[in-house]
Chains A and B, each alone.
Chain A
Amino acid sequence: MLKITNLHASIEDKEILKGINLEIKAGEVHAIMGPNGSGKSTLSAVIAGNETYTVTEGAVYLEDEDLADLAPEERAHKGVFLSFQYPVEIPGVSVTNFMKTAINENRKANGKADMPANEMLKLIREKSELLEIDRKFLSRSLNEGFSGGEKKRNEIFQMAMLEPKIAILDETDSGLDIDALRIVANGVNKLKSENNAVLIITHYQRLLDYIVPDFVHVLYDGKIVKSGGKELAHELEERGYDWIKAEN
C-alpha cells in the first residue's frame, strides 16, 4: 500500500529525515514511536506533501505510484489521509460544509459528480454516530473553540467520511481523556479493513493498547533504528527511549 525508500527530507537546509525505509501492506497497522524531535511529525507531513519540507533523496509510493510530483490535494484524492496533531481553525466554515466540500472535491478529482444531498446527510449521520458526535457539533465552525478531544474526534470523523487508503494518525492520542481515546480508537478499528492501512505516530504506547499494531518501528534522529512486533511498544514504555539513544 505505502512504500517509503531511502527518504531524506530537510527544512531550511537542516536534514530531518535521514534515509527512512518502510513498507506498509494493505490490512496492516504500523506504529512509529520515538522521542521528541526524532522526525515523526516531519515524516507524516512529507507523506502528505507539505511543501515546507524538501525531499532531497528517496521516494514515497502509494500503490506503486511515486507521489513526488503530486500536490497535497492530489495525494488526498488518491487516498492519503493525515489526522493532524494540531488541527487548524477555519472560522465561519462549519464541519458539515467543510466535509461536503472535501467529499465533492475528491469525487470531482475521481471523475464523479457531486454527492446528492440526501446521500451526504445519510453518510454524515452514519459516521457521526460511529464517532459518537453530537449533531450540533457538525454545524459549529471547524475546530473553532473545540476541546482537544473534540478536535481529534473530528479528525477521525473526517477520516471516516473520506475512507482513505492510508491513514496517518499523528499524535492522535495527545490531549485525549480516556473516554475520548476509547471512542477514537474504536472508530479507527471499525474503519480498518483489508483494503486500507493505518500508520500511527505516537510518543506513548497508550493508544496502542486500543489500536493494536502489527509492527512497531522506533524513529530516532531521522532514521528507523529498530522494528518489531507490538511487544516493542511495551518495552519502550518500560525502559523509555534512553536505551535507544545509547545504542545509536
Chain B
Amino acid sequence: MAKYTEDDLKVELETKEYEYGFYTDLESDTFPIGLNEDVVRAISKIKEEPEWMTDWRIEAFRAWEQMIEPEWANVHYTKPDFQAISYYSAPKAVDPNKTLDDVDPELLAMYKKLGISVDEQKKMNNVAMDIVVDSVSVATTFKKTLAEKGIIFCAISEAIREHPELVKKYLGTIVPQKDNFYAALNSAVFSDGSFCYIPKGVRCPMELSTYFRINQGGTGQFERTLLIADEGSYVSYLEGCTAPSRDENQLHAAVVELIALDNSEIKYSTVQNWYPGNKEGLGGVFNFVTKRGLCEKGAKISWTQVETGSAVTWKYPSCILKGDNSVGEFYSIAVTNNHQQADTGTKMIHIGKNTKSTIISKGISAGKSQNSYRGLVRISANADNARNFSQCDSLLMGNNCGAHTFPYIESKNPTAKIEHEATTSKIGEDQVFYCNQRGIPTEKAIALIVNGFGKEVLNKLPMEFAVEAQKLLEISLEGSVG
C-alpha cells in the first residue's frame, strides 16, 4: 500500500533543514585566527577593561596553556584546532550608546527570524532580554524597570566597567579560572555574556532572558554569565541559543556562575538549539559548557534545560549545597538525533546539613546519536540528613541510537538518603498506531509521545518558553519508530 509510513517520515525529517540555519550578512569586526597572550590582551583592551581584569584573563590563559583537553566523556569528535579559531567577533553596527532605533535593520530582521524580535519582546512586557549576537551584547531592554528595583541586568563587559566591586568579588569564585580546560579558555577569552544582581529581599518582577546566537563563521563564542541573588531574593532566568548552519564545527565554551545567598532562589532555564550538524554529522556546534551554582543557607537553585542542538554537548549544570537546608534541582531533557552526541547531567554536592537535591533527567535518542547521562551525588561527612532523589529515563527511537547512564554516588555520611531510579523505553509501533487510528499523523504522534515523556521537565519551564521548547522537540526529532 502506498501509504505514508514511518520510513517516509524518516526520509522527510532527514531532509528537513535546520530551521534556524540562516546566516545574516552583518558587517563584523573579527579578529584574525589564533590565540596567544596578545590576543587575550587585545580582547581585554577592546572591551576597555581595567587592569585587574586583564591580569585575571592572562592568569587564566597561562593556566589553560598547561592544561590538556579532557577525554573522559562518552563523546567522540575531532578536537578543535584552537589556533584556527577567531576569538572575537562583533557586529560592526553595534554601539553601546545607541538606542534600539539605531540598531542595524538586518540585525533586527535576524531577531525576527529567531522569533524574538526586540519589539515583540518589549510588548510582551514581562520578559527582559539581553541579546548576545556573536560576542557583544547588542540590546538590553527593560533596564529601567529593573533599575527601579535595584536590579542590575546588563552585559558582563558593562558590569566590569560599572560594577567592578561586584564582579571582582564573585567572578571565578564558583568556577575558578583553572577549574577545567574549557573554563580556563573561557576565562581567558570571554568576550561577553550577562551579568545579573538581585538585591536583598527583591523578587525580580519578570523573567530575565538572554538569547545567544553564533553568527560569524569560524568564531568561537565564549560567554560568561554571572548571576548573584542576594539574601532573600528571587530570580528566574532563561537563556536560549541558536546558531546558523555551517559546515565547519563552531566552538561554544561558556561559563555560568550562580551565587544564591541566604534564603534566595534562582531558577535558571536553558533552551539550547545550537546547530546540530547535518544528517551525515558534518558541522554543528561543539558545546562545552561549565555551569555551576552555590547555595548558601536555605537557598535554592533550580536548573532546567531543554537541549536539542549541538553536534557534541558536554555540560553538567551543578549545585554546591554549602548552606544548611539548601536545595538543588536539575530538570533536563536532552534530545539527540542523527550523529549528535550528548554527555550531560549534573553534580549535586551536599555540604550543609538537611540539604536536598532532585535530579530528573530525560534523554531522547534517535538516528545514530548517542545520549549519555552523567551525574554525581556527593554527600560530605558533615551533611547530616542529606537527601537526593534521581530519576533518569531514556527513550529510544529506532535501532541505531544509544542511551547511557553513568550515575556516581559518593556518600560519607550514614544519615544520607539517596534514591536512584532509571528506565529505558522505546516508542512502540502500537502507540503510534493507536494515535494514527484516532486521526493523529505519525509525526504529530511522536511529538505527542515525546512531550508526554518530557512533561515533568517541560512543566518546570516558565510558561512563555514551554511552548517554544515543545516546538523545538518537534523540530529536532528526526527519527524513525520501531
> Residues of A with Cβ closer than 8 Å to B?
48-52, 55, 68-73, 75-77, 80-82, 84, 87-93, 97-98, 101-102, 105-106, 109, 141, 158, 162
Q: How far is the CB of A24 from chain B (nearest CB, A)?
A: 18
For the complex, is B452 an interface residue (Cβ under 8 Å from A)?
Answer: yes
The answer to whether A72 and B444 touch across the interface, beta carbons within 8 angstroms, is no
For the complex, is B70 an interface residue (Cβ under 8 Å from A)?
Answer: no
The answer to whether A102 and B438 touch across the interface, beta carbons within 8 angstroms, is yes
For the complex, is B149 an interface residue (Cβ under 8 Å from A)?
Answer: no
B440-454 residues at the A interface, CB under 8 angstroms: 440-442, 444, 448-449, 451-454
Within 8 Å CB of A141, what residues of B? 452
The answer to whether A68 and B1 touch across the interface, beta carbons within 8 angstroms, is yes
For the complex, is B23 an interface residue (Cβ under 8 Å from A)?
Answer: no
The answer to whether A82 and B437 touch across the interface, beta carbons within 8 angstroms, is yes
The answer to whether A73 and B439 touch across the interface, beta carbons within 8 angstroms, is yes
The answer to whether A101 and B434 touch across the interface, beta carbons within 8 angstroms, is no
Within 8 Å CB of B444, what residues of A? 101, 105
For the complex, is B455 an interface residue (Cβ under 8 Å from A)?
Answer: yes
Within 8 Å CB of B431, what residues of A? 88-90
The answer to whether B436 and A71 touch across the interface, beta carbons within 8 angstroms, is yes
Query: Which of B3, B5, B439 makes the CB contact (< 8 A) with A76?
Result: B439
Within 8 Å CB of B448, what residues of A? 90, 93, 97-98, 101
Q: How far is the CB of B392 from chain A (nearest CB, A)?
A: 15
Alpha-carbon distance between A50 and B437 when the two chains are bound, in angstroms: 9
Within 8 Å CB of A77, what residues of B? 439
Within 8 Å CB of A52, what residues of B? 429
A98-B438, A102-B439, A106-B439 are known contacts. Are A51 and B452 too (CB-CB below 8 A)? Answer: no
Within 8 Å CB of A90, what residues of B? 431, 434-435, 448-449, 452
Alpha-carbon distance between A77 and B173 when the two chains are bound, in angstroms: 60
Alpha-carbon distance between A236 and B393 when the two chains are bound, in angstroms: 49
For the complex, is B428 an interface residue (Cβ under 8 Å from A)?
Answer: yes
Alpha-carbon distance between A70 and B433 when the two chains are bound, in angstroms: 14
For the complex, is B68 an interface residue (Cβ under 8 Å from A)?
Answer: no
Known A71-B436, A77-B439, A92-B454; further 9 A-B contacts with Cβ < 8 A: A71-B3, A72-B433, A76-B438, A90-B435, A90-B449, A91-B452, A92-B452, A92-B456, A101-B448
| Per-position binary interface string of chain B over residues 73-106, scored 1 when its CB falls under 8 Å from any chain A CB and 0 otherwise | 0000000000000000000000000000000000
Within 8 Å CB of B454, what residues of A? 92
| Per-position binary interface string of chain B over residues 414-439, scored 1 when its CB falls under 8 Å from any chain A CB and 0 otherwise | 00000000000000111101111111
Closest to A144 in B: B452
Within 8 Å CB of B5, what residues of A? 51, 71
Q: How far is the CB of B12 from chain A (nearest CB, A)?
A: 14
Alpha-carbon distance between A90 and B438 when the two chains are bound, in angstroms: 13
Query: Which of A50, A51, A93, A109 makes the CB contact (< 8 A) with B439?
Result: A109
Alpha-carbon distance between A88 and B452 when the two chains are bound, in angstroms: 14
* Top 10 A-B residue pairs of the complex, sorted by shortest distance between their CB atoms: A92-B452, A93-B452, A72-B436, A76-B439, A92-B455, A102-B438, A106-B439, A71-B3, A73-B436, A88-B434
Within 8 Å CB of B52, what residues of A? none
The answer to whether A105 and B440 touch across the interface, beta carbons within 8 angstroms, is yes
The answer to whether B434 and A87 touch across the interface, beta carbons within 8 angstroms, is yes
Within 8 Å CB of A76, what residues of B? 436-439
Within 8 Å CB of A50, what residues of B? 433
